Structures are given as structure tokens and as C-alpha cells.
Homo-oligomer: A and B are copies of this chain.
């Protein structure tokens, strides 16, 4: 018979110490730092709230359900990050407000997916006949922080439609609907015809929706159009433009509003002199200049 010496932790603090020490041999110092900090904060959370075994089981079930509802068109983990403010915090750390005048960033959100169609200057973002909504002519220039135009910058644009839904939420919709990539011209100018966006709820038929209901938080986001702006030699900009007349600007479910990103969607009557080609009926115009920071 062997005599067993207890060299193992039994008390809570000793378990935390052992979990931290397990990363002592991690070769990459950044990975070591992240894993140790993750353990420290995860254990502090569990200890602070004295998490019960039943609550732990609930957390495992919520994570499992989150994994199972997530696919190539729905990203419930990003949605958790968004509604807990984590996405905007990461954004704030990466892009601290500065005085260079570069356009501010905001969350990517769960609806972007790659390979949007390339579209021409001024082309409609819509690929679906009779989709409805008020046409929104969005135009402006992309410049550097000195005001010099950036030619050939790409704007990857996506937004919701007259039913409040993104195309990825509608299996029956043409995949390219309300998505497009535009290039700036020599003078940095770009233009596209979107639709006036609507406030909408974040997807709330899954684990995040259950949490929002249980905590009596509303699921609404103020009306906005997403864009990712990229050009060689400049920092990639992930941002929105928000409609200044939208509800929920001060209570966005994902904390993504920055005052500098709010734009006026100016109403225009049917047949107004500046009516863009292909637009009939009332529409609106949105000037949106964009400034990229150097890489």
C-alpha cells in the first residue's frame, strides 16, 4: 500500500492558484498573460457571486445553446459580446478618441458576411424587386486626416430593409440584397442608393433574447447603415451611420452609438431636381464624409 501525500488544492483559493500556475510554462508571453488574466477574472466572478452548481449548469446550457444556434449566417457569440458591451469596449481600446479627426469606429455586429457584390458608383444596394422602403442616397468623400482624397478605397456596405431585417435573416431573399462593395473615384467620392434604415431588434429568439427578457432590457437598435472602409496604407474602419431621427439613439441594445456617427437623413420630395437616377417617389439624402487614419 502506498501512502498518498496530498499535494493538491482543496480550498477555493488554492484551486485558483493551481489554475494560474498551470500556465507558467506557456511559451508565448502574450498568450500566458491572457490565459492567466482570464483565469483570474473568471475565478473572481465565480467567487464574488458564489456561483452555485445549478447556476453553473445553467451557464453551460446557455453556452451550449449559443453554440448550436450559431452558424455561418447567425453569430450568437458576437451578439453576447455586443449586448454585454464587450464589443464596444474592445473597439474603444483599439480606437481611443483622438484629435486627428479620423472617423470613429463602432461594432461589426452579427450580420456581416464576406464577398458582398461589387457595385458601381451610385448603384442601388438592392437586388430585390419591389423591396420597398424610402430610398436613401448616401454620398461623400473618403479622405486622409489632412483632407486629401483617397482614391480606390473600398466601402463594404450592408443594412436592413423595409421589413427591419438583414438579408442574412431572410432565406428567401437574393443573397446580394442590401449588400455591396463600392470603390471611391479619383477625388475620393463615393455614392450609393440604400434605403432609409429602420430601428430593429437584435435577434431575440435565442439565448441572448432569453437574457434580455429576463432582465427586462429592450432588444432595439437605432436605425443605421453599416460600413467597413478600407484602403492600402490606412487603418480599416468598421463603423455605422445612424439616423438622427431614430428612436433608441440613447439606449442602443449593443451600446454602439457615438455622437459623431449620427447623420441627418434629409427628406427630398419626389422629382426634386437632384433626384438620383432610378429613384421614384420621396427619398432622402445623406452626406457622409469619411476620414481614415494612417496604418
Q: Which A residues are within 8 Å of any B CB, using their own CB?
A: 1-2, 4-12, 15-16, 18-19, 22-23, 25-28, 31-35, 37-53, 55-56, 60, 63-64, 66-68, 70, 75, 77-78, 81, 84-94, 96-97, 104, 211, 214-217, 244-245, 249-250, 252, 255, 257-260, 262, 264, 266
Contact = CB atoms under 8 A, between A and B. Distances in A.
Contacts of A66: 63, 67
A255 B94 contact: no
Contacts of A63: 63, 66-67, 77
A64 B70 contact: yes
Contacts of A11: 92, 96-97
Contacts of A45: 37-38, 40-42
A77 B67 contact: yes
Given A37-B45, A47-B89, 15 more contacts: A1-B266, A2-B244, A6-B260, A12-B89, A22-B85, A22-B217, A27-B216, A31-B214, A33-B49, A35-B211, A41-B44, A46-B89, A60-B75, A63-B67, A64-B75
Which 9 pairs show the lowest CB-CB distances between chains A and B? A67-B67, A6-B259, A19-B85, A41-B45, A26-B215, A4-B262, A8-B257, A12-B92, A41-B41
A67 B79 CA distance: 14
B12 A93 contact: yes
Contacts of A10: 92, 97, 104, 258-259
Contacts of A2: 244-245, 264
B41 A90 contact: no
